[in-house]
Amino acid sequence: MSQKTERLLPILLGQSVIPVLVIERLGDAVPVARALVEGGLKAIEITLRTPAALDAIHAVSEDVPDAIVGAGTILNGDQYVSAEGAGAKFIVSPGLTGELIDAAEDSDVPLLPGAITPSELMGALEEGYQCLKFFPATAAGGIDFVKSLASPFAEVKFCPTGGISQNNAADWLKLPNVVCIGGSWVAPKKLIDAGDFKAITELARNATKLTA
């Protein structure tokens, strides 16, 4: 078993902040992606939380060639296959199951699974997964908790997501075991609904100034 880190790590190391998007209207997907890419954020996670999500991933993969679109909130093997078919270049899950491990093993698209507790981390390591999502980051213990994991799990690198904002992003990125963070503040719902894509580009530019 392996995580295909040769495909995943360049994405995670390519930018300190990965926008996490909830696309409710398909027509918003391409303009939002273009705005983020223009601001310097090419890797984008579109979560499978809406009926438009898979079509949005497909639209971005087809119409925004500079974007690296991923699929988030993947909970099972069928969703993994569907997201890959839609054009997702990486898969993000809040947890790790045998079914997801099997789907990842059968795919060229790398998986970034979630793990929180020491037991979950040990289980992920046993399966060859060292790059992990930490979700929900703030509610699950926050910066102090993730920092405390660095010593017993020195080989694990995290992408924390959930409750991270522009105000605390820099503090998360200072942690030695954090390689990047995920955040929805870069493309908030109110700006998407308003069609204010210039504002999203500006938020993306500000996010690129953050460094891990």
Write a three-state SS string for 112-171.
Answer: ECECCCHHHHHHHHHCCCCEEEECCCCCCCHHHHHHHCCCCCCCCEEEEECCCCCCCHHH
CB atoms within 10 A of CB 118: 11
* Residues annotated as catalytic (active site), given as ranges: 45, 133
Residue 12 lies inside a defined structural domain of this protein: yes
Q: What is the pLDDT of residue 173?
A: 98
Summarize pLDDT for 85-127 with one digit per residue, the tens. 999 999 999 999 999 999 999 999 999 999 999 999 999 999 9
Q: What is the pLDDT of residue 2?
A: 81
Residue 210 lies inside a defined structural domain of this protein: no
What b/e readout covers 54-69, taking b as 16+ CB neighbours within 10 angstroms? bebbbbbbeebeebbb
In angstroms, the CA 49 to CA 77 distance is 16
Residue 209 lies inside a defined structural domain of this protein: no
Summarize pLDDT for 15-54 with one digit per residue, the tens. 999 999 999 999 999 999 999 999 999 999 999 999 999 9
Residue 154 lies inside a defined structural domain of this protein: yes
Structural domain range at position 10: 5-204
**pLDDT tier, 1 (very low <50, low <70, confident <90, very high otherwise):** low
State the total domains in the chain: 1
Q: Which residue has the tokens 């530019």?
A: 205
In angstroms, the CA 163 to CA 45 distance is 16
Residue 109 lies inside a defined structural domain of this protein: yes
- The DSSP bridge partners found for residue 43 are 68
Residue 212 lies inside a defined structural domain of this protein: no
Residue 110, preceding peptide bond in cis (omega within 30° of 0): no
Q: What is the pTM of this model?
A: 0.96
- 151: CATH: 3.20.20.70
Q: What is the pLDDT of residue 206?
A: 96
Please provide the size of the chain in residues.
212
Q: Is the dihedral of CA 23, 63, 203, 91 positive or negative?
A: positive
Residue 211 lies inside a defined structural domain of this protein: no
Helix (H) / strand (E) element for 15: namely: none
Q: What is the pLDDT of residue 212?
A: 73
Summarize pLDDT for 120-170 with one digit per residue, the tens. 999 999 999 999 999 999 999 999 999 999 999 999 999 999 999 999 999
Contact 92, 74 (CB under 8 A): yes
Residue 164 lies inside a defined structural domain of this protein: yes
In angstroms, the CA 96 to CA 73 distance is 11
Burial of 167 (0-12, 13-18, 19+ CB in 10 A): exposed
In angstroms, the CA 131 to CA 184 distance is 20
